[in-house]
């Protein structure tokens, strides 16, 4: 099986990240642009500098009403560079960022190029996006979803059909890796708010069904997540995914280099009430997580301490698991999220489900991403939200916004905001009772059920409705 074209190196992506930042702040970064261009030129040669300069001219030109002529020239220049690359007269160092794809589609929508020339440019963009999405590693940033937002909001509506045509061709040639298939299903179709049947999605699903034994556990989860989000995951295919997870030869993780330093909770952690065991099943545990405990899986040193506000770092469930259950391998493995099949917010209390083996952990994760696990939360919000007993639903996309931290050990590093370019999110809630606060203010007790698994989804949706959590 042939993989897609190799992804650019970390240094290359870093240079393109600078390009996107420059495009967002306009002409005020001329000096920064010159220095970054010189560095790129010295590292990669003059050919790389030409692509970067053309991309920069294009992204800046489309931001201003009077930049149409410059945008057209930059787009023509990019097309010529790409043609030289395709002909083999230029090195294969061409990479297109989401900002460049958006700028090129905007220039075409302005009518700066048309006819066959516009079709050739869109076809080139479709190939570049397919290469980027196919090699994208989930968890490394927002680049994957950024491409998808551009594709689904492209004004002419021609980029997605060309991309699907290219994917169908790759599928027929059996030239897609499992990682590429998982990315296309999860990112391209799972991130769309429109659940229309797609022949390309059917081809990708058929290709995945025939090669499930070659998929990694994370790739199987991405396939299940994408199909569930676009409502194309049936019981038979889910059973195939379950069997694929069960047949995996999981190996125990290596011993940690540094032992866990778990001390007395009352002395080390600011939360006096530690998590307690609710249920012990043959393959799973259920813990009761108090508010104030973090489900973060990355291990940060407590030597620096602090939560960014002058207090100690929040206690982490992972440390309790590693100390209390040393014989259970998932609880010692950060790559397996220390056995946690899902997470709860720092300020949220509730039941936490954990797998006692790597196989049960991945099976539980599969059930979560396939939306087969129902979760309900009791929530107290400000104001009167009614009518009582009537189920309501919020379907606003959420985008994760990173927060600046004064200390790297702080657990809460981001928040979700309602944004039209965000990922699809659905929350169902039922108002149960209207109550009064001590000061006489109105409050509503409600039952909330997240139908998707976005970060801070319930609190973000309720705040958007004007009823933040108490």
Q: What is the pLDDT of residues 321-350, one digit of tens each?
A: 888 888 888 888 888 888 999 988 888 888
> What pLDDT band is residue 88 in, cutting at 50, 70 and 90?
low
Q: Assess whether pLDDT exceeds 50 at residue 96.
A: yes
Q: What is the pLDDT of residues 35-44, one digit of tens each?
A: 333 343 343 3
Q: What is the pLDDT of residues 393-441, one digit of tens each?
A: 998 888 877 766 554 544 456 778 888 777 778 899 999 999 998 888 8
| Average pLDDT of span 304-313 | 49
Q: Assess whether pLDDT exceeds 90 at residue 362.
A: yes
Q: What is the pLDDT of residues 169-187, one digit of tens each?
A: 888 888 889 999 998 998 8
Q: Assess whether pLDDT exceeds 70 at residue 269.
A: no
**What confidence score (pLDDT) does residue 28 get?**
35
> What pLDDT band is residue 142 in, cutting at 50, 70 and 90?
low
Q: What is the pTM of this model?
A: 0.74
HEC profile of the chain? CCCCCCCCCHHHHHHHHHHHHHHHHHHHHHHHHHHHHHHHHHHHCHHHHHHHHHHHHHHHHCCCHHHHHHHHHHHHHHHHHHHHHHCCCCCCCCCCCHHHHHHHHHHHHCCCCCHHHHHHHHHHHHHHHHHHHHCCCCCCCCHHHHHHHHHHCCCCCCHHHHHHHHHHHHHHCCCCCHHHHHHHHHHHHCCCCCCCCCHHHHHHHHHHHHCHHHCCHHHHHHHHHHHHHCCCCCHHHHHHHHHHHHCCCCCCCCCCCCCCCCCCHHHHCCCCCCCEEEEECCCEEEEEECCCCECCCCCCCCCCCCCCCCCCCCCEHHHHHHHHCCCCHHHHCHHHHHHECCCCCCCCCEEEEEECCHHHHHHHHHHHHCCCCCCCEEEEEECCCCCCCCCEEECCCEEEEECCCCCCCCCCCEEEEECCCCECCCEEEEEEEEEECCCCCEEEEEEEEECCCCCCHHHHHHHHCCCCEC
Q: Assess whether pLDDT exceeds 70 at residue 49.
A: no
């Amino acid at each position: 099986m042939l993989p897609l074209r190799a992804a650019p190196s970390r240094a290359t992506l870093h240079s393109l990240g600078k390009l996107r930042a420059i495009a967002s702040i306009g002409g005020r970064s001329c000096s920064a642009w010159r220095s970054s261009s010189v560095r790129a030129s010295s590292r990669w040669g003059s050919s790389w500098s030409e692509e970067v300069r053309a991309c920069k001219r294009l992204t800046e030109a489309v931001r201003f009403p009077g930049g149409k002529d410059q945008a057209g020239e930059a787009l023509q220049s990019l097309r010529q560079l790409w043609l030289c690359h395709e002909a083999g007269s230029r090195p294969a160092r061409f990479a297109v960022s989401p900002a460049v794809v958006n700028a090129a589609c905007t220039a075409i929508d302005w009518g700066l190029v048309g006819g066959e020339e516009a079709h050739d440019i869109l076809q080139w963009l479709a190939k570049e996006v397919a290469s980027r999405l196919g090699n994208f590693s989930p968890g490394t940033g927002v680049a994957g979803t950024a491409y998808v937002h551009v594709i689904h909001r492209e004004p002419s509506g021609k980029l997605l059909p060309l991309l699907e045509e290219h994917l169908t061709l790759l599928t027929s040639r059996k030239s897609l890796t499992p990682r590429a298939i998982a990315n296309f299903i999860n990112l391209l179709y799972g991130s769309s708010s429109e659940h229309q049947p797609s022949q390309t999605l059917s081809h990708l699903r058929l290709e995945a069904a025939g090669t499930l034994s070659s998929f990694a556990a994370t790739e199987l989860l991405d396939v299940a997540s994408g199909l569930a989000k676009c409502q194309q995951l049936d019981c038979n295919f889910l059973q195939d995914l379950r069997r694929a997870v069960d047949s995996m030869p999981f190996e125990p993780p290596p011993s940690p280099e540094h032992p866990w330093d778990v001390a007395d909770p009352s002395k080390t952690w600011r939360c006096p009430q530690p998590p307690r065991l609710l249920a012990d099943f043959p393959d799973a545990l259920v813990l009761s997580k108090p508010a104030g405990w973090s489900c973060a899986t990355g291990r940060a040193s407590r030597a620096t301490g602090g939560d960014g506000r002058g207090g100690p770092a929040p206690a982490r469930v992972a440390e309790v698991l590693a100390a209390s259950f040393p014989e259970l391998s998932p609880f010692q493995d950060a790559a397996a999220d220390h056995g946690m099949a899902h997470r709860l917010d720092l300020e949220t209390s509730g039941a936490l489900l954990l797998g006692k083996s790597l196989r049960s952990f991945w099976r539980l994760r599969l059930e979560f991403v396939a939306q087969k696990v129902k979760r309900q939360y009791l929530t107290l919000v400000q104001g009167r939200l009614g009518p009582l007993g009537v189920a309501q639903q919020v379907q606003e996309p959420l985008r994760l916004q990173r927060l600046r931290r004064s200390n790297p050990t702080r657990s809460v590093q981001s928040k979700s905001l309602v944004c039209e370019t965000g990922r699809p999110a659905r929350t169902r809630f039922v108002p149960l009772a209207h109550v009064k606060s001590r000061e006489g203010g109105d409050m509503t007790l409600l039952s909330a059920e997240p139908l998707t698994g976005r970060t801070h989804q319930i609190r973000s949706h309720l705040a958007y409705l004007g009823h933040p959590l108490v």
